[in-house]
Amino acid sequence: MRLFACLALACAVKFICMLGRIALVLAAVARALRLRAGPPLAPVRRALGAAACAAALAPPLTGPAVAAPPAAEPDAPAAARRLVEEAYDLLDKYYYDGDALAAPRWRGARERYARAAQQKPRAAPAFRAEALKALDADRYTRIVDERTYAAISRFDILGVGLILAPGPDGRAAVASPPLPGGAAQREGSIRQGDVVDTIDGVKTGGKSSFELLEIVDRAADAGRATFGVVGAGDRTPRLVTLERTVRSVGDPVRAARGPADGVGYVRLGEFNSRTADRLAEVLRDLAARGAARFVVDLRGNGGGAFQEAVAAASLFLDDGAPVVTVVERSGGGGGADRRETFAAKAPPPARRAFAAAAPPPRVQLWLDGGTASASEIFAGALRDNCAAALAGRPSFGKGKIQAVFGLADDSGLIVTVANYLTPAGTAIQGVGLTPEAGLRGPGLGLLEPPLPSAAQFDDAWDHRVCATK
């Protein structure tokens, strides 16, 4: 299964992310406060709907949120049953752990909770939440309420209000109701379950989520994209042209300074749609001012968009170098693992001036316990390809990928859909990336720590640990 449904949030909950960032500040000051369940909630670039794999979602702070009970209607029993069954269907199709899906507890709970919801329609959301517990899912998989899902939906990476997922025949399909306020909803003819046969004339069959995103991105300058949609009862696709609107995002570069003794500094706050371009721009400017060595500070960077982590890593790697491997559906219940390796791509001309620097720039990455998800993908890629040394403290260890799906009652279902491995095949879930010995000197806990001298930098570079050295 290729991840049309991946990385949604992707790499998404901006206002919740603030809670995580506040917690990090308190932890740095008091050294006693620590989130029980994990890192700051990672902001996600304009979400690739259920398609942009990558984004980090932290575990719920207070348990799964449940949408308010729906008002009783004449068809309420049938609607309540569907409320449970649609969550089951999505989990059966996309949840990463095949063994959990095959467990008797999960298999036997569907009918029990669906029937209970049918008998007590007003309690259907509660029965759905109990059904989810029967899966004994990982801490990231959960239901979020209508308000939270609406916030996630604002980060629409496709820009047309659609969430795409794998269809039964390998083509993209509309996985959730069109996003509120999006072009697809305004157009009115596209429904959940419709097949998307083409995007701007390109067949979707066999395409990964990132290939689909590239297709849509090529239509960005025109401000629209045309979808070949096959609905229920349709024999041939009908062409639907949707206006494409992508919301602006903040500057991911939090600070930049130097060079001092030939060392330039960039603090990268998140991986959003501007990250690769802005990083290239800032590094190019520092190089023009005499920097030959670069510190990229990833402390407190909770991640963001998977594809931007790949694009940013491509600034430092040879074309075709492995960046990350995504592993889908593990365990006997889902059959053999499926692996897809994402490789570095030669950067576009706007980024090439820095990428083509000769000799290649020396890079040091600063990490801490708040470095998670997409930032760990970036750091792992540079480390394993011998393109950076790591300094600071171990990263968080967020090695799973989530997707988000809209549900019939306007709530959302967040599902862990895959694991990822670094280029050397290292799984970092719960472990993180460990900086090289001797690079944990004083100052890395400070907001603006002193930069290493050129000699200190080069010594760390000579002792870096990597797979291809």
Residue 356 lies in a domain: yes
Residue 437 lies in a domain: yes
Alpha carbons within 13 angstroms on the beta-carbon side of residue 351 total: 19
Residue 412 lies in a domain: no
Domain match, 78 and 209 both:
no
Domain match, 448 and 299 both:
yes
Domain match, 352 and 426 both:
yes
Q: What is the pLDDT of residues 154-196, one digit of tens each?
A: 556 667 888 777 676 778 888 777 877 788 889 989 988 899 9
Domain match, 450 and 330 both:
yes
**Cβ atoms of 3 and 53 closer than 8 Å:** yes
Report the length, in residues, of the chain: 469
Domain match, 457 and 329 both:
yes
Task: Give the domain-ending residue among 243, 273, 304.
Answer: 243
By residue range, what is the domain housing residue 296? Answer: 253-399+418-462
**Cβ atoms of 469 and 383 closer than 8 Å:** no
Nearest CA to 183 out of 160, 207, 217 is that of 160
Q: What is the CATH number of the domain that holds 354?
A: 3.90.226.10
Task: Give the domain-ending residue among 187, 216, 243.
Answer: 243
Domain count, the chain: 3
Residue 468 lies in a domain: no
What span, in angstroms and rounded, lies between the C-alpha atoms of 258 and 202?
A: 46
Q: Per DSSP, which regions of 370-433 are E strands?
A: 389-392, 400-406, 412-421
Residue 9 lies in a domain: no
Residue 6 lies in a domain: no
Domain match, 348 and 204 both:
no
* The predicted structure's pLDDT at residue 446: 66
* The predicted structure's pLDDT at residue 211: 67
Q: What is the CATH number of the domain that holds 228?
A: 2.30.42.10
For the chain, counts of helices (H) and of strands (E): 13, 16
Nearest CA to 9 out of 302, 420, 322, 409 is that of 302
Residue 183 lies in a domain: yes
Q: Which regions in the chain score pLDDT beneath 70?
A: 1-74, 151-158, 166, 168, 208-214, 216-222, 246-249, 330-336, 348-359, 437-446, 468-469
Domain match, 67 and 172 both:
no
Domain match, 142 and 190 both:
no
Q: Tally Cβ neighbours within 10 Å of residue 402.
A: 33
**Cβ atoms of 202 and 215 closer than 8 Å:** yes
3-state secondary structure (DSSP) of residue 268: strand
Residue 367 lies in a domain: yes
Task: Give the domain-ending residue among 243, 271, 304.
Answer: 243
* The predicted structure's pLDDT at residue 118: 93
pTM to 2 decimals?
0.70
Domain match, 301 and 185 both:
no
Domain match, 201 and 325 both:
no
